[in-house]
C-alpha cells in the first residue's frame, strides 16, 4: 500500500512539474511566438504587430486564429482606434461582409446592436442619415427595396408612417422654415401678424397677401425675372383656415376624399395658411416646361424660394407635382434644398428637428 502512495505521489509531482514547465514556458514566449503558435503566418504576425495596439494582443490570442482579423487589418478603411469595436461587432456578425462591418463602425454611430448588412453600411454613408431613424430605415428598406436616398427621404419625412397618421402643431418659432404638411398643422385661428399685400405687376389673384419678408423677396424675384424677359406673378398666396375648409370640401364633392387628398390640403394642413407660399401664373400642369417654369426652377432659390412639390417626390411630400407652387424658406435653406435636390420635409428633419 505504501508503494502505491509513493507512486501516486511521484505521478502528481511529475504532472505538477509538467504543468509548471508548460505554463511558464508559454509565459516566456514573446507575443510574436504566441501568435505564430495560434496559427498566424510570419507575414500575418508582422501585420498584427504593426497595426494593432499592444493592449489588444491578448484579445487576439483569446479569439484564436481567424482569417477575418487579417481582412480587417488589410482594409483601406481600417482605423487602429476602432479595433476593439471592429472585433466586438464582428463577433456578433461573423457571417457578414467585413467591409460592411468596418464601414458601420467607422460611421461613429452606435449601431452595435443592429445586425451588419450592406443596407446599413450604405445608409450610414448618406448625408441625410439620422441615427434615431435607423430602425425605420431598415424596416422600410428591407420591405420596399427602394434606393437609399428614397429610403432616407421617406423615413425622415415620416411618410413611412402614413400621411395624416400623426398630427403635430407646426412650430411657429421656426419662422420662415415653419413646416406645414400632412403631419404638421396650424391652428384654426392662426393668421400671420405681418401680412402685406402684393399689387400691380406682382399680383393677378384675389389671395394676394404674404408675410412681409416673403413678399419683399417675391417682388425681388419678379423684378429679377423681368430682366430676363420672364413675367411672373402671384395668383394665390395666403388663405385662412375657413377658406381652406370650403376649398377642400368642394374638391371632395367633385373628386372624392382620396383623390382630393392628393392635390389639396385638409384645413389646418395647408401651407397657404402660413403666408409663405404662392401659386404662380398658371395653376395647371400645362405650366410645366414653360419658359417661366424653367426660369423658376433655375433661379427661384437665389431669392429664397423653393419648388415645394417637385416631380418624383410625391411619396415624400404627399402631393402631386405642382410646378406652379413656390414656398419661401430664405436664401440659405433654399440653396441647400435646390443643390441637394431635397424637399422641405427632408431639410426640416435634418437641419431643424435633429438639433
Q: What CATH code is carried by the domain that includes residue 311?
A: 3.30.1380.10
Is position 230 within any domain? yes
315 burial via Cβ count (<10 Å: 0-12, 13-18, 19+): middle
Is position 46 within any domain? no
pLDDT of residue 355: 79
Is position 232 within any domain? yes
pLDDT of residue 354: 87
Is position 34 within any domain? no
Expressed as residue numbers, the domain containing 215 is 168-353
Is position 307 within any domain? yes
Residue by residue, pLDDT tens for the chain (355 residues) are 556 655 555 655 556 554 544 444 445 578 889 999 989 999 999 999 999 999 999 999 998 899 999 999 999 999 999 999 999 999 999 999 999 999 999 999 999 999 999 999 999 999 999 999 999 999 999 999 899 999 999 999 999 999 999 999 999 999 999 999 999 999 999 999 999 999 999 999 999 999 999 999 999 999 999 999 999 999 999 999 999 999 999 999 999 999 999 899 999 999 999 999 999 999 999 999 999 999 999 999 999 999 999 999 999 999 999 999 999 999 999 999 999 999 999 999 999 998 7
Domain tally for the chain? 1
pLDDT of residue 24: 41
| Contact status, residue 278 vs residue 236, Cβ threshold 8 Å | yes
Is position 280 within any domain? yes
Is position 304 within any domain? yes
How far apart CA 133 and CA 140 sit, in angstroms, is 11
Is position 146 within any domain? no
Sign of the C-alpha dihedral computed for residues 216, 217, 222 and 226 taken in this order: positive
pTM for the model stands at 0.87
Query: Cα 180–337–198 angle (5° rounding)?
Result: 60
CB 340: neighbour CB atoms within 10 A?
13
Amino acid at each position: 500500500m505504501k508503494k502505491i502512495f509513493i507512486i501516486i505521489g511521484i505521478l502528481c509531482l511529475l504532472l505538477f512539474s509538467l504543468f509548471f514547465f508548460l505554463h511558464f514556458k508559454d509565459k516566456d514566449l514573446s507575443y510574436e511566438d504566441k501568435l505564430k503558435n495560434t496559427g498566424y503566418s510570419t507575414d500575418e504576425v508582422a501585420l498584427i504587430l504593426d497595426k494593432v495596439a499592444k493592449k489588444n494582443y491578448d484579445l487576439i490570442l483569446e479569439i484564436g486564429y481567424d482569417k477575418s482579423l487579417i481582412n480587417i487589418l488589410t482594409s483601406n478603411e481600417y482605423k487602429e482606434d476602432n479595433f476593439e469595436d471592429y472585433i466586438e461587432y464582428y463577433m456578433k456578425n461573423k457571417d457578414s461582409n467585413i467591409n460592411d462591418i468596418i464601414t458601420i463602425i467607422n460611421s461613429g454611430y452606435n449601431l452595435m446592436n443592429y445586425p451588419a448588412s450592406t443596407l446599413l453600411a450604405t445608409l450610414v454613408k448618406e448625408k441625410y442619415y439620422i441615427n434615431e431613424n435607423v430602425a425605420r430605415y431598415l424596416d422600410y428598406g428591407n420591405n420596399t427595396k427602394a434606393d437609399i436616398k428614397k429610403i432616407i427621404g421617406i423615413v425622415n419625412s415620416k411618410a413611412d408612417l402614413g400621411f395624416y397618421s400623426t398630427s403635430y402643431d407646426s412650430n411657429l418659432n421656426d419662422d420662415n422654415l415653419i413646416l406645414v404638411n400632412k403631419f404638421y398643422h396650424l391652428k384654426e385661428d392662426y393668421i400671420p401678424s405681418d401680412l402685406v399685400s402684393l399689387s400691380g405687376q406682382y399680383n393677378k389673384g384675389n389671395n394676394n397677401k404674404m408675410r412681409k419678408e416673403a413678399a419683399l423677396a417675391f417682388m425681388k424675384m419678379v423684378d429679377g425675372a423681368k430682366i430676363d424677359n420672364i413675367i411672373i406673378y402671384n395668383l394665390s398666396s395666403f388663405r385662412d383656415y375657413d377658406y381652406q375648409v370650403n376649398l377642400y370640401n368642394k374638391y371632395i364633392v367633385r373628386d372624392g376624399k382620396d383623390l382630393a387628398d392628393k392635390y389639396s390640403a385638409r384645413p389646418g394642413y395647408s401651407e397657404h395658411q402660413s403666408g409663405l407660399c404662392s401659386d404662380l401664373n398658371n395653376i395647371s400642369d400645362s405650366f410645366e416646361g414653360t419658359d417661366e417654369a424653367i426660369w423658376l426652377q433655375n433661379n427661384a432659390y437665389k431669392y429664397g424660394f423653393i419648388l415645394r412639390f417637385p416631380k418624383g417626390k410625391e411619396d415624400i411630400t404627399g402631393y402631386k407635382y405642382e410646378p406652379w407652387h413656390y414656398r419661401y424658406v430664405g436664401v440659405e435653406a433654399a440653396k441647400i434644398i435646390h443643390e441637394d435636390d431635397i424637399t422641405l420635409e427632408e431639410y426640416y428633419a435634418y437641419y431643424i428637428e435633429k438639433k
